Amino acid sequence: MAPRASGQVVKPSGRRRSFSLRFRAYGKRWVIKLGRPEDGWPMQITERELAVVLRDVDLRTWRPPRPEPAPSTDVDPTFHEFASDSYATKELEVEPNTANHYRNDLTNHLLPFFKDHHLSQITVAEVDRYRQHKVREAAEIAAAAESGKPMTVSYLDRLGRRYRRHARPLSPRSINTVGAAPGRSARRCRRPADARRSPRCSSAVGGRRRPERCCGATSTSPTVGSR
């Protein structure tokens, strides 16, 4: 006998204003956004909705919600807007430690450089410029530590406590991994001509999908530390 479906209610917290349901169905993890408490979605109704969904999953009659229709206009948000919107949804789908890792990568590495860039401006050359910047920064962090005056960064731990700690230089591998995210977000966007067929693109943190304009970037740039 197959195990019964299970899931949980995700309560509003911080930037997350609405209740959500998180559960597994047909081998995938699903997150369904519901209403806000101030709009008439109390905890009791949310729990009842979860019970209905889990029952339908057990009966194999549950069907994923249909995607929202594509908007009629193209948008080109800044990386800060896009990443913040993406993270707000992605944190519902991953474990707290993973969400914390995403948040710190965005706060300490990506947003200081890319926050004012529009997605269409994140080209191969710009991603390479970011990598070069992080290589110089790693050298500065190491030099400051050796001089006895270490640099510090803001850090948020898994319990939500914010404090400052000594900056740690990124390795060449980490620079390549973190630096690939903005370009990957832009590369996956569909061109306007394809928008009617596949109007959505992947987010900076691998979660939220929303329509964006393709920046035309490719994956041919060299990586830090490559030979």
Contacts 24+ apart (CB under 8 A), 161-168: 167/141, 168/141
At 211-226, the pLDDT tens digits run: 333 333 333 333 334 3
Please tell me the predicted confidence (pLDDT) of residue 187: 60
For the whole prediction, is pTM greater than 0.75? no
Token digits of residue 191 = 């061109």
Per residue in 119-137, pLDDT (tens digit) is 888 888 888 888 888 888 8
Q: What is the mean pLDDT of residues 102-106?
A: 82
Pairing status of strand 7-10 against strand 20-25: antiparallel
pLDDT score at 196:
37
Are the CB atoms for 122 and 215 separated by under 8 Å? yes
The domain ranges of the chain are: 7-59, 79-194
Residues 62-98 pLDDT 10s: 888 877 666 555 578 888 988 888 888 888 788 888 8
Q: What is the pLDDT of residues 8-49, one digit of tens each?
A: 999 988 778 889 999 988 888 889 888 888 888 889 888 989
User: 3-state SS string over the chain?
Assistant: CCCCCCEEEECCECCECCCEEEEEECCEEEEEECCCHHHCCCHHHHHHHHHHHHHHHHHCCCCCCCCCCCCCCCCCCEHHHHHHHHHHHHCCCCCHHHHHHHHHHHHHHHHHHHCCCEHHHCCHHHHHHHHHHHHHHHHHHHHHHHCCCCCEEEEECCCCCEEEEECCCCCHHHHHHHHHHHHHHHHCCCCHHHCCCCCCECCCCCCCCECCCCCCCCCCCCCCCCC
Q: pLDDT-derived band of residue 183, with 50, 70 and 90 as boundaries? A: low
What Rg do the C-alpha atoms of the chain give, in angstroms? 21
| pLDDT at 174 (0 to 100) | 77
Q: What is residue 98's predicted lDDT score, i.e. its pLDDT?
A: 83
